[in-house]
Amino acid sequence: MQVQLKFQVLSQVSIDFQVEKDFNYIVFHAKNLTITEKTLIDRKNHNTKIQVVKMLEYSAGQQVYIEFKENLRKKTNYTLILRYYTRLNQDMEGFYLSSYTTRDGKKKVHKASNFLGLIGASRFKLLSSLEVPLKGIKYGGVKEWQNCWAKYNSTRVPSERKLLLKVLGASRDPWILQSGLWFGNLVTMRWWNDLWLSEGFASFLEYYGVDHVMPGWNMMDQFILDKTQQALGLDALSTSHPISVTVHDPVEIEAIFDTISYSKGAAILYMLEKFLGQGTLRAGLNDYLNTHKYGNAETKDFWSVLSKHSNHSINVKAIMDTWSRQMGFPVIRISRITPQHSSNSSTTPAPPPMIEYSATQTRFLLTNEPYGRNDSKLLLPRSPYDYKWYVPLSYYTDQTGYKEQEIVWMNMTDVTFKLPNSIKWIKANVNQSGFYRVTYDDHLWDALIQALKTNHEVFSPADRASLIDDAFTLSRAGLVNATVPLELSTYLLKEKDYVPWATALEHFQHWSTSLSEASPYRLFEQYVKKLLTPISHHIGWEDTGSHLEKLMRSDILAAAVLVGVDTVVKESKSKFNGWMEKGFRIPPNLREVVYYAGIKYGGVKEWQNCWAKYNSTRVPSERKLLLKVLGASRDPWILQRYLLATLDRDVIKPQDVKDVLSVVASNPEGNFLAWRHLKAHWKGLQNLFGNGTFSMGALIGVVTSHFSAPYDLHEVKAFFKDMDVGSGARSLEQSLETIELNIHWVRRNEEPIFQWLSSYLQ
């Protein structure tokens, strides 16, 4: 490859291939390339050249058609040699131009690459020629990660151990790269409909791999926060899609690079590992990679190998097809079946030793109408499995504890099972390892809530998070009253673990934005403030403790600043002023809290100080953090200036534009400013990102998903009416659906929430 001074790239690529049938043409993908020479060599016939008679390009499909004078014979080795050129631009796709400003103010232009997804078509197989051997674990593989881990265990120098631990925790990238080697390079999926297996496995392995060598970090607890819960949230919408989808054109390919492909794919693989067992999954994966190495495969090939290694006791394909080939997931309702007594009996019979419980499955769908009013919606669009699943229903009771779980299989059906009459409660979906939600009859909900209040540690931290997540989400769907998650969350006054708190804070944030114009808003802020006060005092300001304790400290104190816990706000402002005026150092784990408080409760001076730091620092993590907190200002004039800065790519990089709009939109003072900015500069943003990327859809989502008023819904619909948003179409549909859900949830729950909060806070 040669890069000319005028940013024109000249290159050559050789592609070795065989055809499965006799044809006189081939089709391959290419984008924004001008092909100048094309040569086909028959390797079997003394490297004879075969004449090219025609070449056609279909730009919309990013395809090139080359026709030959004679037929190509199947199972014969051919080599296609192409010479081509292209011009570098600033579109952040493929091999492109980027720029930066040096410390002395000079602008420098350099070359960069982004070959995510379909963008790879713009370079044939050029990735290997562009890779640079960068130092450091972030750009290394599992071997480099393990070398650091071995060094950490062997050294006894405290400062070096501390540094190595920080490096080890800084990135999960080596495990993603390892998965990419397996499912991208060693075995390549046959077509884009199986993209989810490659991307889902990478998302699963980035947590699973670290959890294997660092069990004390509880990475799989973090997995349910980052992957399972996020995917459950998106897959509950009617505008979701199966993770295995039919793909016809490039726009559809870009559209499936979303939370469903990545996070739901990872979550169902986690569920698969739980019911198959680690040994079976590992043996099956090894067999699959060896069987199909250097070739193509489909998802069904992976399922077949796993069935073989389970001694065919489990039909993996039948089970997993119900999760991958239909959208959504079930909600399992567990009820205690009350024994029927004869009305003719004159005496009360002794209670039976065992009581029957029922578990029924229904598709979980966030809908504007209460369940039961229009159940036909639950069956749309049509599914080959009628929205029934093979569900590995795991559970434990107050008599067994969370370390002794049972599994009942729901084979696309409902089930009943028996438990001792003396049990008080049952907790299903152990550690939220299954991709489904669980609700209970009123008696069981009451018993679970009482158990949490009495001794929450009878449940694992992941199960406490699961109960919080299910209760709040079931309330949003209208399956339980809003008072259920409120009553359940009162136990948080005693909670001291990260995962339950992180889950609760996510839902508190959603309630806060949805209720921002409703009567309970101020009372809800007081309630959250009451819950956060004990834990914020307990967690303190010393940057010590385990990995999860440090994560928790940052999240708790940031939330306390947001709702105005006085002692936390006072300490944060004091630390910010010391940093700004006297250069006092703030530990990295506490910087977000301190910067956030300084911006939120400060003015122009504090904001400009952080803005100057953003422009002067060369530490990527610090720039990312400052970019986030700069959107916390309560001054609309400052927020407007900040939004306008995104229009200058030399000031804020295009890849950071979404982050800026997101933080401003999530700020009550900036929500409508962000929306107005998106409308005013839509054309410019389209030119920046292009309609063929998923960036435009992401912008729509982060700016509009907070809306909860009918007028806002009308505005969004009117603006995007008859507008071509390209691959952002699905994101637009999901955003409109989310706004409608917010509107109806507030309408249904405003009064009961107000009444409960008024009573509790008296």
Closest residue by Cα to residue 711 from 750, 752, 739:
739
Q: How far is 226 from 228, CA to CA, in rounded Å?
A: 6
Mean pLDDT value of segment 386-406? 94
Same domain, 438 and 291: no
Angle at 598 between CA 592 and CA 599, to 5 degrees: 90
If asked whether residues 301 and 335 sit together in one domain, one would say no
105 and 175 co-located in one domain: no
Tell me, yes or no, whether 335 lies in a domain: yes
Q: How far is CA 756 from CA 393, 491, 527, 761, in A?
A: 33, 16, 11, 9
299 and 376: one domain?
A: no
Q: Is the pLDDT score of 547 beyond 50?
A: yes
pLDDT value of residue 507: 97
> Does residue 623 lie within any of the structural domains?
no
* DSSP state for residue 721 in the 8-state scheme: T
Residue 168 sits in the same domain as residue 125: no
Reference 303, options 320, 291, 287; nearest CA is 320
pLDDT per position as a tens digit, 248-277: 776 677 666 678 888 999 999 999 999 999
Q: How many domains does the chain have?
A: 4
| Residue 85, domain member (yes or no) | yes
**Residue 12: HSE in the Cβ half-sphere, 13 Å Cα cutoff:** 8
Residue 382 lies in a domain: yes
Lowest mean pLDDT among 37-46, 222-231, 364-373: 364-373
Q: Are residues 114 and 66 in the same domain?
A: yes
Residue entry with tokens 């960069």: 112
Average pLDDT, rounded, for the chain: 86
- Report which DSSP code applies to 360: E
The verdict on 304 and 373 lying in the same domain is: no
The pLDDT confidence band at residue 127, using thresholds 50, 70 and 90, is very low
Q: Is position 192 within any domain?
A: yes
Q: Are residues 118 and 227 in the same domain?
A: no
Question: For residue 46, what pLDDT is reported?
Answer: 84
Find the CATH number of the domain harbouring 64: 2.60.40.1730
Supply the CATH number for residue 688's domain: 1.25.50.20
How many beta carbons lie within 10 A of that of residue 238, not counting itself?
Answer: 17
For 317-472, strand residue ranges (E) read: 330-336, 354-363, 390-397, 406-411, 415-420, 426-428, 437-440
Q: How confident is the model at residue 128 (pLDDT cuts 50, 70, 90)?
A: very low
On whether both 312 and 334 belong to a single domain, the answer is no
Joined tokens for residue 56:
């056609």
Do 175 and 75 share a domain, yes or no? no
> Is residue 476 over pLDDT 70?
yes
In tens, the pLDDT along 490-535 reads 999 999 999 999 999 999 999 999 999 999 999 999 999 999 999 9
Domain-ending residue, one of 468, 503, 538: 468
Specify the pairing of strand 390-397 against strand 426-428. antiparallel
Of 54-58, 117-121, 495-499, which has the strongest mean pLDDT? 495-499
Kindly state whether residues 122 and 183 are assigned to the same domain.
no
pLDDT category at 101 given cuts 50, 70, 90 is: low
If one compares 705 and 453, the residue with the highest pLDDT of the two is: 453
Return the minimum-mean-pLDDT range out of 16-25, 153-162, 340-349, 363-372. Answer: 153-162
Instruction: Tell me the C-alpha distance between 282 and 288, whole Å.
Output: 10
Would 682 be classed as within a structural domain?
Answer: yes
The CATH number linked to 182 is: 1.10.390.10
Residues 6+ positions from 414 with CB-CB distance below 8 Å: 358, 359, 360, 361
Same-domain status, 117 and 193: no
What is the domain range of residue 374? 328-339+352-452+463-468
Nearest-CA neighbor of 466 among 456, 481, 479?
456
**CATH no. for residue 408?**
2.60.40.1910
Give which of 262, 242, 137, 113 is closest to 196, Cα–Cα: 262
Phi, psi of 112 (to 5 degrees): -140, 170
Total residues belonging to the chain: 762
Residue at 552 is within a domain: no
Is residue 598 in some structural domain? no
Which residue do the tokens 């199966």 mark? 242
The neighbour count for residue 13, using CB atoms within 10 Å, is: 17
